[in-house]
């Protein structure tokens, strides 16, 4: 069992990384003085992983959209009882989520973390699927899909992705469609489980009021060794061009809501982390509450305080998104594009760059004093192929030229899309 201590040279914060004999990567952060514990047991398996194969396979397996999310739902039921009943006895709060590129099972507690950790490791390694339970879940998730289809915030986001991406499965709802989940059966769930829930494809992350030796002793007891079968996932070829520049949909909303996004070139690992940091600063310089564009649009009544931005990236996709409410979303889009052109032509203000860079750095440092944030940082970093403290290093070394290069190379008018959901009378 390999045990390494990872330390940030800038803050002195550290965590333990263990490559367990079972194949599992384990991250532990002891945080003396904190009363709570956060643990996540996750697999690098999300809604975009619909095509895969193992070393022994000659052909790729293609599975229905939404199966990762379906599997997450079903894993909480075992042969004897519901997992939430077990957590209730230890006082822990359990949950799970499926995103585009990962599925995580988690709990938070302030006592009895050892017993809760045993529950977490045990049930995630014990799949139990039957035809009856799968049929029942299809109805439940089918209703969930119909509800999200009526959610304006959900619709405006996925409509934007469909404007950007021709082939990449990121444009598909995480839960799939009513039609796609109808193709799921118990055999298919077991196949996906034993493919992606191999411990060599998984991570345990735990932080807070814990003892590392206790955590590892529980892992030694509960983890079942897995052979690394060489999982390989692939995605369809995706052109750099967008599908179309705009889309409108009618939903019952009081004020139109919008997502304006730039489709950027994808990358992975440390390159993606560096690029996402540059993108974050660039988007903040464009839309920060103190920026000229934000103040102008706010004073003119074109945007309100809901206006914000995010960097959305993962395996095979990368975009910068501006969102909010506006009676004139076209004016917001044009203002963003014009401000990008101005920065390309005139450059960016060094003073504004340094202010936002330092503010972002401070936010990352503060998150190292939050148990939940630390646990999520460790698991997300591993799945992204970077170290938990790499973002601090990249950010401290970043220059305004790095940000300007990102703006010039990635924020292109011909890769700008707009998605709007408006009311019937608007």
The catalytic residues are: 72
Q: What is the DSSP string of 319-351?
A: EEEEEEE-S-HHHHHHHHHHHHHHHHHH---HH
The string over 93-104, giving b where at least 16 C-beta atoms fall within 10 Å of a residue's C-beta and e elsewhere, is ebebebbbbbbb
Those residues with Cβ within 8 angstroms of residue 362's Cβ, 6 or more apart along the chain or in another chain: none
- Distances in Å between the alpha carbon of 16 and those of 6, 7, 26, 204, 373? 6, 9, 8, 12, 16
- The dihedrals phi and psi of 17, each to the nearest 5 degrees, come to -115, 130
Cβ within 8 Å of residue 376, ≥6 positions away: 38, 40, 205
Phi, psi of 15 (to 5 degrees): -150, 170
First to last CA, the chain: 62
Cα–Cα distance for residue pair 244/263, rounded to 1 Å: 11
Helix (H) or strand (E) holding 145: helix 131-149
Q: Which string of DSSP letters, residue by residue, matches 264-325?
A: -----HHHHHHHHHHHHHHHHHHH-TTSHHHHHHHHTTS--TT-EEEEEEETTEEEEEEEEE
């Amino acid at each position: 069992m390999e045990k390494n201590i990872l330390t940030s040279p800038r803050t002195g914060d550290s965590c333990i990384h263990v490559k367990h004999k079972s194949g599992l990567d384990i991250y532990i952060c002891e945080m003396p003085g904190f009363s709570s514990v956060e643990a996540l047991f996750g697999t690098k398996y999300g809604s975009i992983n619909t095509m895969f194969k193992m070393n022994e396979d000659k052909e790729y397996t293609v599975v229905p959209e939404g199966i990762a999310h379906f599997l997450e739902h079903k894993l909480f039921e075992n042969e004897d009882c519901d997992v939430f009943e077990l957590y209730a006895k230890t006082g822990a709060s359990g949950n799970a989520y499926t995103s585009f590129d990962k599925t995580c099972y988690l709990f938070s507690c302030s006592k009895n973390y050892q017993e809760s950790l045993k529950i977490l490791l045990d049930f995630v390694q014990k799949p139990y699927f039957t035809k009856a339970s799968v049929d029942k879940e299809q109805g439940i998730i089918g209703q969930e899909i119909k509800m999200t289809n009526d959610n304006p915030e959900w619709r405006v986001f996925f409509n934007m992705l469909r404007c950007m991406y021709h082939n990449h499965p990121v444009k598909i709802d995480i839960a799939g469609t009513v039609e796609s989940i109808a193709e799921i059966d118990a055999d298919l769930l077991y196949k996906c489980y034993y493919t992606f829930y191999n411990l060599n494809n998984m991570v345990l992350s735990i932080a807070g009021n814990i003892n590392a030796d206790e955590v590892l002793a529980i892992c030694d007891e509960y983890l079942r060794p897995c052979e690394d079968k060489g999982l390989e996932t692939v995605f369809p070829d995706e052109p750099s061009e967008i599908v179309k520049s705009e889309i409108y949909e009618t939903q019952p909303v009081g004020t139109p809501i919008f997502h304006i996004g730039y489709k950027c070139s994808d990358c992975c690992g440390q390159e993606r982390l560096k690029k996402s940091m540059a993108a974050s600063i660039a988007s903040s310089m464009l839309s920060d509450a103190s920026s000229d564009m934000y103040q102008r649009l706010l004073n003119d009544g074109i945007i309100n305080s809901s206006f914000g931005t995010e960097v959305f990236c993962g395996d095979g996709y990368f975009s910068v998104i501006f969102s909010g409410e506006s009676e004139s979303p076209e004016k917001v889009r044009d203002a963003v594009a014009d401000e990008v052109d101005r920065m390309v032509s005139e450059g960016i203000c060094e003073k504004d760059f340094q202010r936002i860079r330092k503010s972002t750095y401070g936010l990352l440092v503060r998150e190292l004093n939050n148990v939940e944030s630390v646990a999520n940082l460790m698991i997300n970093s591993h799945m992204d192929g970077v170290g938990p403290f790499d973002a601090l290093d990249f950010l401290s070394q970043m220059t305004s030229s790095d940000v300007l290069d990102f703006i010039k190379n990635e924020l292109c008018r011909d890769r700008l899309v707009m998605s709007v959901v408006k009311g019937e009378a608007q």
